[in-house]
Amino acid sequence: MAKHRYADALALALGEEMDKDDSVFIIGEEVGQYLGTLQVTKGFLAKYGPNRVVDTPISEVGIIGLGIGSAMAGLRPVCEMMRLDFSLPAYDQIVQHAAKIRYMFGGQFKVPMVIRGPSGVGRQLSAQHSQALEVLFAHIPGLKVVVPATPADAYGLTKAAIRDDNPVVIIEALRMYFEKPEALEAIQPGLSEIPEGDDWIANIGEAKVLREGKDVTLIGYSTMTISCLRAANLLAQEGISAEVIDLRSLLPLDMATPLASIKKTHRAVVVQEQWGMYGIAAEISAQIAERGFYDLDAPVQRVTGAFVPMPYSKALESLAYPHEEDIVVAAKRTLGGK
């Protein structure tokens, strides 16, 4: 199977869907003539023309609004946010409109649009450009939210999102964009492979056991899935067998997979890149404790980022989000360690 970088997997998925379906188009800042801020859409303008690769002013409300309206009219817009943080000026369009139109009009319309862009922390971009905003979307009924961790899912979930008839937010892991396949393969073989053949796409709403284990279940998504795998490698060196689950989709959320795992391991660590308070991991932890109450041998451990706006200085920034060592500590805590 071919090995890809995350960013290339995104490009591949977008291109394939544009080839397949004329109603798919991409719109955003610098997606065309500039070849994409991070070059995901390099070559697209030349290939598909300005009707399908649409450069815009710095007008996120307009971009999302255009996406919503054109989706209602039967197109399949992919709205690129240069960074997902920049979706916030358009948050009203997303939450009050994209998410609600189907319901509030009794099902008369559908809004098959994609909102996507790089997200997350760790690139010294400081407070306004280093956020993991998943909750702001995953709390909203009517949206779907996917969080690809690997090149395979960057590909498979993007394709699935484009074909989905609902508004889907793809929260892309900026830190993964340009990771070399070899580096990923070193963490776990297969991570950079895209399943081939017969038009594979991922199923939105399915979590996945990425590594089997029996002592403790590590649950992550996006970059934190990779950190969980690294942590599992470290734990293995100490004779602890960790199962790693990649959530892949936050809305809908597949809890059956983690709950089944915990039936086996009786211990869980939930990892999230940024703010713990009212964060994604809270829901996972709560559901495990509520629904797996009698399976748990120890309190669920949450490993989350510092509850502060992201600092710029590398020295502070690296303290502000979880590393594999933090996950190892938490895992050991579930096993009675300190």
Partner 1 sequence: MARAATAAPPASHATAKNGSGKEADLDIKKLDAKKYLRFYEQMVHIREFEELCDHAFRQGTHGIGGYLHLYSGEEAIAVGIIGAMDVENGDAFIGHYRDHAYALAAGSEPGEVMAEICGKATGCSKGKGGSMHICDAKLGFYGGYGIVGGNVPIALGLAWAIKYRGENRVCACFFGDGSMNQGGFHETLNMAQLYKVPALFVLENNGYAMGTSIERSHANPNLASRVESYAMEYHVINGQNIFEVHEQVAAIVESMRTNPRPVFLEMKTYRYHGHGAADTQVTQSTYRSREEVEDWKTHRDPIRLAEQALMEAEILTEEERERIHTEAVEAAKAALKFSDDSPDPSPDELLTDVYV
Contact residues toward ligand TPP (CB under 6 A) are: 29, 58, 60, 82, 86, 89
Tokens representing residue 169 in the block:
């937010």
Which H, E and C letters describe 203-249, residue by residue?
Answer: CCCCCEEEECCCCEEEEECCHHHHHHHHHHHHHHHCCCCEEEEECCE
Residue appearing with tokens 């649409």 = 54
Mark the segment that binds a copy of itself (CB under 8 A) among 28-36, 146-154, 173-181, 308-316. 308-316
Nearest to residue 173, comparing CAs of 190, 186, 191, 189?
191
Residue 138 contacts which entry, a copy of itself, partner 1, ligand TPP, none (Cβ below 5-8 A, type-dependent): a copy of itself
The 8-class DSSP code of residue 274 comes to E
Cis peptide preceding 252, ω within 30 of 0: yes
- Pick the binder of a copy of itself from 17, 29, 85, 172 (CB under 8 A): 85
Q: Binding of a copy of itself at residue 142 (CB under 8 A)?
A: yes
Residue among 207, 128, 187 nearest 324 (CA): 187
Among 47, 278, 318, 325, binds a copy of itself (CB under 8 A): 278
Record the tokens describing residue 143, joined without a space: 């949206």
User: Using the rule CB under 8 A, is 186 a contact of partner 1?
Assistant: no
Q: Which of 293, 315, 336, 338 binds a copy of itself (CB under 8 A)?
A: 293
Contacting residue, 183, 200, 307, 323, with a copy of itself by CB under 8 A: 307
Which of the residues 259 through 318 are near partner 1 (CB under 8 A)? 306-309, 311-316
Q: Show the CA angle centred on residue 37, arms to residues 44 and 172, nearest 5°.
A: 90
Q: How many CB atoms lie within 10 A of CB 106?
A: 7
116 binds partner 1 (CB under 8 A): no
As a whole number of angstroms, the longest Cα–Cα distance in the chain is 60
Q: Which of 65, 89, 181, 205 binds a copy of itself (CB under 8 A)?
A: 89
Residues 10-29 binding a copy of itself (CB under 8 A) are none
Per DSSP bridges, beta strands 114-119 and 168-173 are parallel
List, by residue number, the catalytic residues: 60, 129
Where does this chain touch partner 1 (CB under 8 A) — which range of 141-149, 192-200, 206-214, 275-283? 141-149
Q: How far is the CB of 164 from partner 1 (least distance, A)?
A: 8
Contact 221, 253 (CB under 8 A): no
Positions touching a copy of itself (CB under 8 A) are 85, 88-89, 91-92, 95-96, 99-100, 103-104, 126-128, 135-136, 138-142, 250-251, 253, 275, 277-283, 285-286, 289-291, 293, 296, 298-302, 307-309, 311-312
